[in-house]
């Protein structure tokens, strides 16, 4: 990564962290334990890839930074809610997230359920309650669709039903287009919607990029789950293999998955080629997602 991109990324991560800190309820406000758990789950960890995509896509449409931090925070709140619920014993049953005990381990299962519920509703409260431009209703609908049964939640349902099964590549890609890709796609499109309207062809190009980037993220995640340590990942390594879940490693092998990741990165970059310098940060983020060391 070049130093300019590293500095840009650090600045946007810090801005997102500060915004989340403002938007989340104060730790000492009632109900105190729930608010403490919400802040515990959300603050002080994570790469903030989805907020970074929001800010990068916002550069294409010249979106005001104050709008983008609202959108970035809403997307990240949905992401964190999904992590809190996915880690529960009824789902993936994990004890480590972002290098710390998962929310239900640090607090309890009932609190973790309420944390997820509260983060989800706070995300939509932000999108509905802040001034985000003339396409605000469209933005709310987009995030809702990406989060529900035809998006992230639906992908998780397919994932749970696929344990111990051998999926085709098309079936695996559908599952991850919903579970992981839907929210990543939403982050990109929401960032662009926060600014000036793009031409129809530009919208199609951006959507193509967003879909390729979402799939790329999952393929690399599968690779890292197989090759990186728990300490490096900040979550339990090898969990998918231990749970007998279908992954791109089981389907394509490690070398095949790495080749597929590079192909997806290439396709994502081609989709951005018409934007020129305006897509510089999105291009750099595609490289970061593909080659991230953790």
Cα distances (Å, whole numbers) of residue 165 to 94, 209, 216, 244: 21, 30, 22, 8
The tokens describing 157, both together, are: 């349902």
The tokens describing 158, both together, are: 């397919």
DSSP secondary structure, 158-215, as one string: HHHHTTT----HHHHHHHHIIIIIHHHHHHHHHHHHTSSPPPHHHHHHHHHHHHHHHH
Q: Which of 192, 190, 245, 191 is nearest to 218 (CA)?
A: 245
> Among positive and negative, which fits the CA dihedral 239, 241, 242, 245?
positive
How does 232-246 read in b/e, with b if 16+ C-beta sit within 10 Å? ebbbbbebbeeeebb
Which residues, 6 or more positions from 74, have their beta carbon under 8 angstroms from its beta carbon? 123, 124, 126, 127, 143, 190
Q: Which of 129, 154, 132, 151 is nearest to 142 (CA)?
A: 151
Which residues, 6 or more positions from 260, have their beta carbon under 8 angstroms from its beta carbon? 219, 248, 252
Q: Where are the domains of the chain?
A: 3-291
The tokens describing 17, both together, are: 């962290």
Look-up of token digits 């992908």:
155
Q: Give me the pLDDT at residue 54, please.
A: 98
Q: Give me the pLDDT at residue 111, please.
A: 98
> Which residue stretches of the chain are H helix?
3-23, 32-42, 49-58, 65-86, 103-106, 109-129, 136-147, 152-161, 169-176, 182-193, 200-227, 230-233, 239-242, 248-271, 280-291
C-alpha count within 13 angstroms, C-beta hemisphere, residue 191: 29
Contact 68, 53 (CB under 8 A): no
CATH number for the 3-291 domain, one of 3.40.50.720, 3.30.70.260, 1.10.600.10, 3.40.50.80? 1.10.600.10
Give the Cα separation of 281 and 155 in Å (integer): 28
C-alpha count within 13 angstroms, C-beta hemisphere, residue 101: 9
Give the Cα separation of 84 and 42 in Å (integer): 9
pTM of the predicted model, to two decimals?
A: 0.95
DSSP secondary structure code for residue 54 in this structure: H
Give the Cα separation of 175 and 165 in Å (integer): 13
Q: Average pLDDT of each block of 10 consecutive residues along the chain (294 residues)?
A: 92 98 97 98 94 97 96 98 97 92 97 98 97 95 97 95 90 94 98 96 97 96 85 70 83 94 97 95 96 68
């Amino acid at each position: 990564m070049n130093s300019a991109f590293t500095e840009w990324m650090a600045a946007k991560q810090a801005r997102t962290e500060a915004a989340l800190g403002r938007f989340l309820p104060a730790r000492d406000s009632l109900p105190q334990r729930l608010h403490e758990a919400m802040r515990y789950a959300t603050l002080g960890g994570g790469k903030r890839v989805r907020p970074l995509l929001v800010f990068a896509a916002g550069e294409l449409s010249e979106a005001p930074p104050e709008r983008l931090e609202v959108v970035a925070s809403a997307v990240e709140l949905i992401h964190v809610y999904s992590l809190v619920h996915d880690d529960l014993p009824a789902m993936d049953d994990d004890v480590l997230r972002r290098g710390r005990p998962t929310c239900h381990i640090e607090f309890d299962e009932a609190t973790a359920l309420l944390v997820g519920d509260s983060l989800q509703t706070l995300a939509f409260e932000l999108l509905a309650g802040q001034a985000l431009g003339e396409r605000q209703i469209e933005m709310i609908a987009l995030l809702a669709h990406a989060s529900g049964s035809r998006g992230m939640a639906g992908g998780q349902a397919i994932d749970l039903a696929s344990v111990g099964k051998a999926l085709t590549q098309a079936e695996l890609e559908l599952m991850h287009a919903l579970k992981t890709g839907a929210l990543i796609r939403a982050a990109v499109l929401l960032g662009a919607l926060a600014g000036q309207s793009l031409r129809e062809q530009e919208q199609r190009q951006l959507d193509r990029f967003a879909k390729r980037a979402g799939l790329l993220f999952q393929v690399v995640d599968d690779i890292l789950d197989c090759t990186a340590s728990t300490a490096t990942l900040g979550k339990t390594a090898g969990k998918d293999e231990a749970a007998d879940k279908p992954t791109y490693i089981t389907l394509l092998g490690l070398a095949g998955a790495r080749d597929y990741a590079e192909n997806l990165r290439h396709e994502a970059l081609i989709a951005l080629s018409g934007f020129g310098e305006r897509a510089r940060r999105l291009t750099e983020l595609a490289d970061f997602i593909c080659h991230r060391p953790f």
